[in-house]
């Protein structure tokens, strides 16, 4: 399935508290869910990705590093996709 590997990565990342893997896997799962028409699942996964990214950013003590993380193209794409999926 299109969600196979990202979904397995997400299932592993969450209980191990690995936020970097969590947001990236959640983003990929959200995209796969949206592509298969699972809009509710896509919104849930997108929200998880977005919330996890926000938690990471909030813990970065250096504002320059925080900005670098948030402006990283992969992070920007995840936020843009999440915004789109959450708007429905």
Looking at residue 36, its pLDDT comes to 94
- Sign of torsion, CA 65 54 17 42? negative
Residue with tokens 């959640």: 26
pLDDT tens-digit profile of 41-71? 999 999 999 999 999 999 999 999 999 999 9
Alpha carbon distance 1, 83 (integer Å): 24
């Amino acid at each position: 399935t299109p969600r196979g590997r990202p979904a397995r990565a997400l299932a592993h990342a969450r209980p191990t508290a690995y936020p970097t893997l969590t947001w990236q896997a959640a983003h990929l799962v959200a995209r796969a869910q949206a592509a298969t028409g699972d809009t509710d699942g896509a919104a849930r996964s997108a929200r998880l990705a977005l919330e996890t990214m926000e938690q990471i950013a909030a813990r970065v003590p250096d504002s320059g590093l925080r900005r670098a993380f948030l402006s990283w193209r992969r992070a920007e794409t995840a936020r843009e996709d999440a915004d789109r999926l959450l708007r429905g």
